[in-house]
Amino acid sequence: MKSLMKAMVLAAAWAALPSAYAAQPLTDGKGAPLIHLNVAAAGWGGTALPGVEGRNYIFPDASYLNKWQKGGIRVIRFSILWERLQPKLMGDFAPVYAQRIDTFLAQAAARDMGVIIDIHNYGRFNGQNIIGTPAVPTSAYQDLMKRVAQRWAKNPGTHGYDLMNEPYGDADKYWKANAQAGIDGVRAFDKVHPIYVEGRSFSSTAQFATLNADLLLLKDPSDNLIYSAHLYLDDGSSGQYAKPITGKFDPMVGVNRAKPFVEWLARNKKRGQLGEFGVPDNDPRWLTAMDNLLSYMHDHCVPVAYWAAGPWWGKDPVAIEPINGVARPQWPVLSKWIQKTNNCP
């Protein structure tokens, strides 16, 4: 019975699209886009550093963004690795890797899309050296962000900068100082684009308010900071979804996990984003919870970036990348909220 029900739900979802990612009308222009998309490709293979392009990581090809443009996506969070971009602290950028980023930004700009450049390093350099320690001084991280902004501030494909993906563990105690250094580095060359600031302990929504009060003291001369948290619906909010749903399932689990972060933003009159969120395609109850969360975030004008798309995701159950041209079950739910108009500032 469950298999039949699942098949019926998925068939209805797919039938709603005339093709995998059909052209859809965009919003009426009120406010900024509330649905973003993670494209994870250039940041693959974090244990292979610097790695080999085509073996450990990949950049999307020239036509990759077409389907997302047609689907209404306008903001891409694009993960890159510090070590691949700047192999030596305080040194020059690796020419080929930097040029690949140039190309991706140009591909986005040509499609009226913007890219959030995401330093996907967990508060570390080379996987284990904590930023803020003698091995990786804060000044080296500031140098990175200064160079990033210097190269891409005026690129029409740049939407903003995510300072650091999911600081955690020993990196947490240095994060406020490092985040300020990152802001200062960006603002040395870019006074315009937003800067996304993640929180400690993997930037969890559940712990954001309690662990990151000092991030409210960050200074941005451009007053354009956006606090970015991550949220998944499995036990521990890890995003691994290692166990299927058993027993009673709360379809408001995502809303309940988002509330502490959203209410923290409101109390402090700050802007925010869910920088990562995703659900598996193997149970329609996840899709219901996803829909409820997106409704809540829409009502509170907090953008959500789905994790993840990219050319190497294959049949990963959380990925939204189509398989053989067929849309994933998560797409109709996400697409519905792309098309919703909003009155957000």
Write the secondary structure of the chain as one string of H (helix), E (strand) and C (coil).
Answer: CHHHHHHHHHHHHHHCCCCCCCCCCCCCCCCCCCEEEEECCCCCCCCCCCCCECCCECCCCCCCCHHHHHHCCCEEEEEECHHHHCCCCCCCCCHHHHHHHHHHHHHHHCCCCEEEEEECCCCEECCCEEECECCECHHHHHHHHHHHHHHHCCCCCEEEEECCCCCCHHHHHHHHHHHHHHHHHHHCCCCCCCEEEECHHHHEHHHHHHHCHHHHHCCCCCCCEEEEEEEECCHHHCCCCCCCCCCCCCCCHHHHHHHHHHHHHHHHCCCEEEEEEECCCCCHHHHHHHHHHHHHHHHCCCCEEEEEECCCCCCCCCCCCCECCECCCHHHHHHHHHHCCCCCC
321 included as an active-site residue = no
198 included as an active-site residue = no
Query: Which residue in 83, 198, 276, 321 is the catalytic one?
Result: 276
Query: Which residue in 166, 198, 263, 321 is the catalytic one?
Result: 166
Which positions are annotated as active-site residues? 166, 276
